Chain A
């Protein structure tokens, strides 16, 4: 049984980041996009915690809590915009929301 090292955390984090990024770029449903953004943020959090543990520095953990708070706020605002948008456009598909072009 191998001990879990910092490298594993980093791999997990990178995987999550990749999954989140691909989700943001490819999925059309805005709710899924917001969930993918949560994945990206959590990838960052894992990164921060891993380094905090490895370096015995508590700053990383504090910063992770900030990020969680931020993600909550962001989710609230994002979902609010989404609901307002849905009322007007009757859709949650991101590719149909293209009126902000030139």
Chain B
């Protein structure tokens, strides 16, 4: 079977599942809204409660929806395998012209015809993405069967989840920016729907809206970037854009720096929205209101990496503009440090992981910014495993604790839920950067590139290193507070603590294995292992073909320095773990005394640097309400003024008309009648009303006639 030509089918399987669920799902499941959500108005988070409800139809849903993703995964595997057999490693399937555009004049006056295809592009970059999306996506689907078993809206959940996979696959398989944008918006929609899955809960509904609106802000930048790209390059197809940009006629000396920089910055602004970077990162921690599998799939493994994918996809653009790349690197580094610092003091288990995700995404942007595109994708790949794993484990903990998310009320869960503990341990080791696990390879490569790449610097490396230490610390703080030490679990919860069902633990185990092994695809060059242990870089090389950057990197290779840096990052990780263990296990009094002695700093971190409040002040109250007031004043004074002025004018003209009517028209009429009256007065005198007077006139008249005849 030729999977390569059938890649257009890959997104359609989950779409089929989603349509079936969303159109007919209500027939399968009579309970569309979770009563948990209603109960959660007073209680805490997403709590799978214990009104067991198994129906054969529900079983059908749990078979169909993950099955659809599995089929997509199989097709993806087949397609990627066949792609690796081709020489070009680029396969494009254009099904039809989707937007047939009109000819228009580009910025340079040339005539171009705009066209966007319904086309799919499978190259090394998108093949990594579809494997992550369908592979990790499938495991999370399976996990959801167990996790959501007791929740209402089962079909709705799986329908949204399948719809998300469809849009995500459209995003990564699209062969042009416009079609990518369709997926981009679609995943945003699914994110909104799933964050607000417990829509009875106000905080969940608000978090959904927040995510949607912040993404919209970023999307505005992305759209502007695309429009600029159309007007400058005349095409939005990835292959054409890259060929044009690498062709030389758009070199900064020729095309000018400004327009390409603007394009890059605008598109990066879109990425900051989707991938939760400064300044638009604040939605991601709130997105934890959604069910935990959603946090794992959308807000850790796949959707939030869309920005990384998009920037990597536009690598040719960023390679041409080092200043833009610098912005990307600095923003990524700052985000990594800021988010890690907040994660240090959070007490909600999912919130720690959420800030950790923001921080790790910052690492990816650091890698993108220093021109190490394959490393960014590599970290995306390993991060998908261990962060999905960590989220699913936290979900399993929450499941076991009956909905409790506050780590201060956990502890000593190690033996109660052993599988969850061990898998989460693996995930934490992996993210902390302990050697031979996935996170070590990718993070170490990022730090090395940040140091050695021509675009990198010692400062970027140092901040990245500090963040690595913080990462190790907050992960082990989480582990210690949750699994070790003294139990702070409430007695009535204690009785119900139980290990999760197999549908949840099996994905955890598989992801833990992935977290151990995924890194071995990208071992450091330094180790001189066989080529297959560096498969990731070689596989992605064609996607980011740019000899200049690579050559520069080769020359900067300094073995002893690299060993030193690697040792430093491992040491930092171990110190982080050790300090966390000492603080939260050996001497639990230390954190409290530290908290007291550094009260202002603690408060600042605990309140997330007050960024939400600042945004609230600046945008919601400042721009929103202040703008509303200005608009109100404008409305009252200018718009209403116009209306009132028109009213006044009408009244004025009507007064003039009344005056004219009364005095001129009526005057003329009355003057006429007055004249007639005046003329009538002499006649009136004759009209006495007395019969005899009339008789007298008759006689006089007769005599007059008589006199006249006689006189004649």
A55 at the A/B interface (Cβ < 8 Å)? no
Stretch in A5-13, A67-75, A92-100 with 4+ CB within 8 Å of B: A92-100
B697 to chain A, nearest CB (A): 10
Chain A, range 6-39, C-beta contacts under 8 Å to B: 21, 24-25, 33
Q: Which of B688, B689, B695 contacts A25 (CB 8 A)?
A: B695
User: Are A101 and B691 interface neighbours, CB within 8 A?
Assistant: no
Q: Which of B684, B687, B692 contacts A24 (CB 8 A)?
A: B692
Chain B, range 686-706, C-beta contacts under 8 Å to A: 687-692, 695-696, 699
User: Are B695 and A98 interface neighbours, CB within 8 A?
Assistant: no
User: Are B691 and A94 interface neighbours, CB within 8 A?
Assistant: yes
User: Are B691 and A97 interface neighbours, CB within 8 A?
Assistant: yes
For A94, the chain B residues whose CB sits under 8 A away are: 690-692
Q: Which residue of B lies closest to A24 (CB)?
A: B695
Chain A, range 62-102, C-beta contacts under 8 Å to B: 94-95, 97-102
For A97, the chain B residues whose CB sits under 8 A away are: 689-691
Complex Cα distance, B588 from A76, in Å, reads: 142
Complex Cα distance, B692 from A48, in Å, reads: 27
Contact residues on A (Cβ < 8 Å of other chain), bracket: 10 to 19
User: Are B684 and A95 interface neighbours, CB within 8 A?
Assistant: no
User: Are B687 and A95 interface neighbours, CB within 8 A?
Assistant: no
B42 to chain A, nearest CB (A): 96
Complex Cα distance, B694 from A98, in Å, reads: 11
User: Are A101 and B692 interface neighbours, CB within 8 A?
Assistant: no
For B691, the chain A residues whose CB sits under 8 A away are: 33, 94, 97
For B687, the chain A residues whose CB sits under 8 A away are: 101-102
Complex Cα distance, B695 from A41, in Å, reads: 15
A100 to chain B, nearest CB (A): 5
Chain B, range 654-712, C-beta contacts under 8 Å to A: 684, 687-692, 695-696, 699
Complex Cα distance, B225 from A34, in Å, reads: 119
User: Are A98 and B690 interface neighbours, CB within 8 A?
Assistant: yes
A32 to chain B, nearest CB (A): 11
User: Are A101 and B699 interface neighbours, CB within 8 A?
Assistant: no
B702 to chain A, nearest CB (A): 9
User: Are B684 and A102 interface neighbours, CB within 8 A?
Assistant: yes
Q: Which residue of B lies closest to A22 (CB)?
A: B699
Q: Which of A21, A95, A99, A100 contacts B699 (CB 8 A)?
A: A21
Bits for B347-375, please: 1 = Cβ < 8 Å to A, else 0: 00000000000000000000000000000
User: Are B688 and A98 interface neighbours, CB within 8 A?
Assistant: yes
User: Are B689 and A100 interface neighbours, CB within 8 A?
Assistant: yes
For A95, the chain B residues whose CB sits under 8 A away are: 690, 692
B681 to chain A, nearest CB (A): 10
Q: Which residue of B lies closest to A27 (CB)?
A: B692
Complex Cα distance, B692 from A95, in Å, reads: 8
Q: Which residue of B lies closest to A96 (CB)?
A: B690
User: Are B695 and A101 interface neighbours, CB within 8 A?
Assistant: no
B196 to chain A, nearest CB (A): 92
A34 to chain B, nearest CB (A): 11
A88 to chain B, nearest CB (A): 15
A40 to chain B, nearest CB (A): 11
Complex Cα distance, B684 from A81, in Å, reads: 26
For A100, the chain B residues whose CB sits under 8 A away are: 689
For B690, the chain A residues whose CB sits under 8 A away are: 94-95, 97-98
Complex Cα distance, B692 from A24, in Å, reads: 7
Complex Cα distance, B686 from A102, in Å, reads: 10
A-B contact pairs, 20 of them (CB 8 A): A21-B699, A24-B692, A24-B695, A25-B692, A25-B695, A25-B696, A33-B692, A94-B690, A94-B692, A95-B690, A97-B690, A97-B691, A98-B688, A98-B690, A99-B689, A100-B689, A101-B688, A101-B689, A102-B684, A102-B689
Given contacts A24-B692, A94-B690, 12 further A-B contacts (CB under 8 A): A24-B695, A25-B692, A25-B699, A33-B691, A94-B692, A97-B689, A97-B690, A97-B691, A98-B689, A99-B689, A101-B688, A102-B689
Which residues of B line the A interface, CB within 8 A? Answer: 684, 687-692, 695-696, 699
> Lowest 5 CB-CB distances: which A-B pairs, in order?
A101-B689, A98-B689, A102-B687, A100-B689, A101-B687
